[in-house]
Structure 1
Amino acid sequence: MPLNEVENFITENKHLPDVPSATEVKENGIDLAQMDAILLQKIEELTLYIIELKKEMNKLKEEQKKQ
């Protein structure tokens, strides 16, 4: 999911996509194994976002050197 869509989701829903809201956790409890899997997914997503940002930054640096 593109970062701007994540931002919109958080703004509208007040929690990350695929992560239960605080209200859901209060009402239903939490399955730790499931939450571990969700958190691992979020770590992977963050890693991919960082890689994408690094590529963009390197591209901008190269463009700046050419000017």
Structure 2
Amino acid sequence: MIYNKLEAKEIKVTETPTADFVFEESYELPPLIEVEEYIKEKKHLPEITSAQEMKKNGVNIGDFQIKLLQKIEELTLYIIQQKKEINKMKQDIKL
């Protein structure tokens, strides 16, 4: 166990699943209102360990990276949805 600083040029995590399941048609993107309510109540993102838990139990870097990637992919899908809504609103205004 290392209790000091760890420095490396590269760390490779192998045999780790990805978060590409977010782009499957069967994936249900959580409604933003539910995400907002969760954040207000819990003070952290859904499926992301709280800072308190991280301090107490540490963090599995491989798992954490996948969860972060999942959140980035979800954000991308939210942005795409919003862009479509904006484009539709622009078309409606022109009519």
TM-score band, normalised by the shorter chain?
over 0.9
Measure, in 2, the Cα distance between the counterparts of 1:28 and 1:11. 23
Structure of larger gyration radius: 2
Q: Gaps (5+ residues) in structure 1?
A: none
**Structure 1 ranges of 4+ moved more than 2 A:** none
TM-score normalized by structure 2?
A: 0.69
Of structures 1 and 2, the one with the larger relative CO (CA 8 A, separation 6+) is 2
Alpha carbon RMSD of aligned pairs, Å? 0.3
Letter matched to residue 30 of structure 1: V
What's the counterpart of residue 65 of structure 1?
94
Measure, in 2, the Cα distance between the counterparts of 1:37 and 1:64. 41
1:2-54 superposed Cα distances (whole Å, 9 cap, x missing partner): 00000000000000000000000000001100010000100110000000000
Choose between structure 1 and 2: higher helix proportion: 1
Residues 1:8 and 2:37 are matched in the alignment = yes
